[in-house]
């Protein structure tokens, strides 16, 4: 299972977005994490589709779009059109009877469907959809803001998600998002996460390339270690 680092553009310098995207590429990012917030699902508003469309034009990195909006199903067509690769929707942002349909629609539109669990949402919420998911996002902060403290108490949930996926969908990725950096990545990787959203600790590091390499190395060692323990 490949370790992937996804710098979060929320921590980038928005006055020089093209330069920031180039900096992430040069640092060895595997994809770019784009946080879309609507001020309803989370108490903050970030950026939306016109910005992502422009970013897609200047990079070949896959765009990992984290939808922190209500009714994310409304935006699947536009996300496909502007060049999103992964579309993550929150389990509690969609009516339970529509969630399976929303995830299938994301796949039918040619993108990877991912399901996000905010801190109070248990691992079992993925069960009905585990076989169609390309990724599960376990939030390690309450969504809405960058620069928050990593919640180590989410690690049992990462382990549970990995156990479920090992049974039904072993190639499915697990992403963690919130407070990930040099000091926290190993814990998350050892628990079974393999995709790491890194905002503050990448874009705001003194040397982004050094930070991304070091975070990746720590993740690789800890992920392997975690798999051997089980």
Catalytic residues: 35, 177
Q: What is the phi-psi region of residue 96: left when phi exceeds 0, alpha when psi lies from -120 to 50, beta otherwise?
A: alpha
Binding partner at 144 among ligand DX5, Zn ion, none, C-beta below 5 to 8 Å by kind: ligand DX5
SS3 19: helix
Using the contact rule CB under 5 A, the part of the chain among 35-43, 57-65, 156-164, 188-196 near Zn ion is: 35-43
Report the DSSP beta bridge partners of residue 69. none
Phi, psi of 34 (to 5 degrees): -115, 115
Among 30, 177, 187, 190, binds Zn ion (CB under 5 A): 177
108: exposed, middle or buried (Cβ count in 10 Å: 0-12, 13-18, 19+): exposed
Min dist CB 207 to ligand DX5, Å, is: 17
Binding partner at 72 among ligand DX5, Zn ion, none, C-beta below 5 to 8 Å by kind: none
Please say which residue, 146 or 192, places its beta carbon nearer to Zn ion: 146
Min dist CB 143 to Zn ion, Å, is: 7
Min dist CB 86 to ligand DX5, Å, is: 13
> How far, in Å, CA of 101 to CA of 213, rounded?
38
190 near Zn ion, judged by CB under 5 A? no
Binding partner at 180 among ligand DX5, Zn ion, none, C-beta below 5 to 8 Å by kind: ligand DX5
Binding site for ligand DX5 (CB under 6 A): 8, 10-11, 33, 35, 66, 141, 143-148, 177-180, 197-201
SS3 116: strand
35 near Zn ion, judged by CB under 5 A? yes
Helices H / strands E in the chain, number of each = 8, 8
> How far, in Å, CA of 155 to CA of 72, rounded?
27
> How far, in Å, CA of 148 to CA of 127, rounded?
29
Residue number of the CB atom closest to ligand DX5: 199
Binding partner at 114 among ligand DX5, Zn ion, none, C-beta below 5 to 8 Å by kind: none
> How far, in Å, CA of 113 to CA of 190, rounded?
24
Residues that bind Zn ion (CB under 5 A): 35, 66, 177
């Amino acid at each position: 299972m490949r370790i992937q680092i996804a710098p979060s553009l929320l921590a980038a310098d928005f006055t020089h977005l093209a330069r920031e995207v180039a900096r992430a590429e040069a640092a060895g990012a595997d994809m770019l994490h784009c946080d879309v917030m609507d001020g309803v699902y989370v108490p903050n508003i970030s950026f939306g589709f016109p910005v992502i469309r422009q970013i897609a034009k200047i990079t070949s990195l896959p765009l990992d779009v984290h939808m922190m909006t209500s009714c994310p199903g409304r935006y699947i067509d536009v996300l496909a059109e502007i060049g999103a690769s992964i579309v993550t929707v929150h389990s509690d942002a969609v009516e339970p009877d529509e969630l399976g349909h929303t995830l299938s629609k994301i796949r039918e539109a040619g993108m990877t469907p991912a399901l996000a669990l905010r801190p109070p949402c248990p691992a079992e919420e993925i069960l009905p959809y585990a076989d169609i998911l390309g990724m599960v996002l376990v939030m390690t902060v309450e969504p809405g803001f960058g620069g928050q403290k990593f919640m180590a108490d989410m690690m049992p949930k990462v382990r549970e998600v990995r156990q479920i996926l090992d049974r039904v969908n072993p190639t499915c990725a697990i992403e963690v998002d919130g407070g990930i950096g040099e000091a926290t990545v190993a814990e998350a990787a050892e628990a079974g996460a393999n995709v790491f959203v890194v905002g503050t600790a990448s874009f705001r590091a003194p040397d982004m390339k050094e930070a991304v390499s070091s975070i990746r190395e720590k993740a690789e060692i800890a992920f392997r270690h975690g798999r051997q323990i089980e």
